[in-house]
Amino acid sequence: MQGSPPRGMRDFYPEQMRIQNWLFSHWRESAHRYGFEEYNSSVVEQEELFVLKSGEEIVSQLFNFEDKGGRRVTLRPEMTPTFARMIAAKGGALAKPLKWFSVAQCFRYERMSRGRKREHYQWNLDVVGVPEVTAEAELLAVALDALEGLGLTAKDVAVRISHRGLMGAVLEALGVPPERWAGVFGVIDKRGKESEGQLWKLMEAQEVPETTIRTLFSMLDEKTIDPFSALLEEKGLSTEPVEDLRTLFGYLEAYGIQEYCEFAPSIVRGLPYYTGIVFECFDRGGKFRAVFGGGRYDNLLERFGAGALPSAGLGFGDVVIQEILQDKGLLPGLPRRVDFFLVPYSRDERGQAFRTVQHLRKKGFCSDLMLNAKKLKGALREGARLGAKRVVLLLPEELEQGLLVLRDLEAGEEERIAEREFLADPGRFL
Ligand code: HAM
């Protein structure tokens, strides 16, 4: 047995837990403010769900096993298939449009790198029953609001947006057969994560000819929608992707978040279920992996037998955001704090200390007391370690006169106060 957790997993000691909770409370608070409702499920899911819905890469990364009843199960690698399963199970009983969120721990047996662990928490936000890009605009607004709440601005991060239909059209125009598209999207998604040479190899494995790869890669660097619009028109293909993108950018302006958002055709997303708008949020310095990613998946729920239910969503991980905040000096210190720390002079004063600490706790003050018998010096050291705003000393002689000794550790000052007054209004003494 070693002291470390299994490779790729994290332990959360109290100081890290304070940071996690700080982040999660920002996520939850933003989601509530934007009208999203919280849901969750077990981390153990049916393996089949991901084999059918998540695509090859995620399936190769599953923490899967057989339970004692011989069922194939897995720790969930993502939340979307579970979300789709839950919505489909309720069918028409759930009123649409529906906006749900979750803070879900996910597990992927990934090659470990910066920003990639084998376990992470993901804030999932999904909208069901909205065919228009109003859903995407709302999703981006809430995610960016949370980022701002954490201290980031449009100078720090950008959301890069595209549409699966654009690259689909390019592939169609280049004669790549539709059954190869998911594989090709998977390779495009690796741009920036793999070397150029490796990308060429992966493309060749998808049987894409050299000249096609060259044209495809040059299209990925386009900065505007216009060349794609021209291509779609020239080939007589639906211009819906272009219209969707232009409408979305208009909405993002009205939401006041346009300075975060830019068109980037290289964003295709690695997961196979996306059908329309896709997006990913990155730090502008290009040092880190994606902060969040998502898009529209209009066919996934139908595949669970739920009927056609247009949907869009995103996943925002806890790892990359903390790396970025740390890099920018924006992670809060969050030291441990208690309002009052009570110190009974000896065992004889304990009864009174218990009664007083309970009184403070019931009144809503964060209060602790010394559980081990210690000399005054040790007691004050313990109070400092707990971040006590005030140490309350229960000394025999003072207690006899109805007095408590209140010590302000930071100021190094001490005063005698009437116990009665303190109990009536402890907040006055903070
Ligand atoms: P994803 O892009 O695979 O999308 O993950 C979303 C986010 O989760 C990433 O941008 C990243 O912040 C974080 N993440 C993913 N894998 C890891 C990892 N191994 N270590 C640390 N962080 C990680 C999805 O999972 C979609 N289901 C999102 C979605 C929701 N689409 C629609 N609704």
With the most atoms of ligand 1 within 8 angstroms of its CB, the residue from 78, 121, 309 to mutate is 78
**pTM attached to this predicted model:** 0.93
| Ligand 1 mean position, distance from CA 78 (Å) | 7
Note the helical H segments in 56-133: 56-60, 80-90
Class of domain 338-429: alpha beta
The CATH superfamily holding the domain 14-327 is Bira Bifunctional Protein; Domain 2 (3.30.930.10)
- By three-state DSSP, how is residue 64 classified? strand
| Ligand 1 mean position, distance from CA 293 (Å) | 6
| Ligand 1 mean position, distance from CA 114 (Å) | 14
Atom of ligand 1 nearest to the CA of 77: 25
| Ligand 1 mean position, distance from CA 55 (Å) | 14
What residue ranges do the domains of the chain occupy? 14-327, 338-429
Which H helix or E strand runs over 200?
A: helix 196-205
Q: β-strand 119-128 against 311-317: which pairing, if any?
A: antiparallel
Atom of ligand 1 nearest to the CA of 78: 25
Taking a C-beta distance cutoff of 8 angstroms, is the pair 168, 200 a contact? no
Measured CA distances, 202 to 182, 187, 199 (Å):
13, 6, 5
Are domains 14-327 and 338-429 of this chain identical in fold? no
| Ligand 1 mean position, distance from CA 121 (Å) | 9
- For the sheet containing 98-107, what is the strand order? 37-38, 98-107, 119-128, 311-317, 292-296, 277-283, 157-163, 261-263
Q: Nearest residue CA, atom 30 of ligand 1?
A: 314
Atom of ligand 1 nearest to the CA of 294: 31
Taking a C-beta distance cutoff of 8 angstroms, is the pair 176, 257 a contact? no
Q: Nearest residue CA, atom 20 of ligand 1?
A: 116
With the most atoms of ligand 1 within 8 angstroms of its CB, the residue from 105, 120, 122, 289 to mutate is 122
- DSSP sequence for 229-297: HHHHHHTT---HHHHHHHHHHHHHHHTT-GGGEEE-TT---SSTT--SEEEEEEETT--S--SEEEEE-
Provide the residue-wise pLDDT of the chain in tens; the chain has 430 residues: 679 999 999 999 999 999 999 999 999 999 999 999 999 999 999 999 998 777 778 889 999 999 999 999 999 999 999 999 999 999 889 999 999 999 999 999 998 888 899 999 999 999 999 999 999 999 999 999 999 999 999 999 999 999 998 988 889 888 899 888 888 888 998 887 788 899 999 999 988 899 989 988 888 889 999 999 998 898 888 899 999 999 999 999 999 999 999 999 999 998 889 999 999 999 999 999 999 999 999 999 998 887 889 999 999 999 999 999 999 999 999 999 999 999 999 999 999 999 999 999 999 999 999 999 999 999 999 999 999 999 999 999 999 999 999 999 999 999 999 999 999 999 999 9
With the most atoms of ligand 1 within 8 angstroms of its CB, the residue from 120, 142, 160, 281 to mutate is 120
- By three-state DSSP, how is residue 176 classified? coil
Longest CA pairwise span in the chain (Å): 95
Q: Nearest residue CA, atom 5 of ligand 1?
A: 315
Which H helix or E strand runs over 36?
A: none
| Phi, psi (deg, nearest 5) at residue 396 | -55, -45
Residues with a CB atom less than 6 Å from ligand 1: 78-80, 108, 110, 116-117, 120, 122, 124, 126, 271, 290-294, 313-315, 317, 319-320
Cα–Cα dist 180/169, whole Å: 13
Atom of ligand 1 nearest to the CA of 269: 2
| Ligand 1 mean position, distance from CA 315 (Å) | 5
Q: For residue 394, what are the contacts with CB-CB under 8 A and spacing of at least 6?
A: 342, 343, 344, 345, 349, 352, 353, 356, 404, 405
- By three-state DSSP, how is residue 377 classified? helix
- For the sheet containing 63-66, what is the strand order? 44-46, 72-75, 63-66
Q: β-strand 63-66 against 157-163: which pairing, if any?
A: unpaired
Q: At residue 94, what is the residue type?
A: L
Q: Nearest residue CA, atom 24 of ligand 1?
A: 315
| Ligand 1 mean position, distance from CA 75 (Å) | 15
Q: For residue 193, what are the contacts with CB-CB under 8 A and spacing of at least 6?
A: 289
Cα–Cα dist 346/343, whole Å: 9
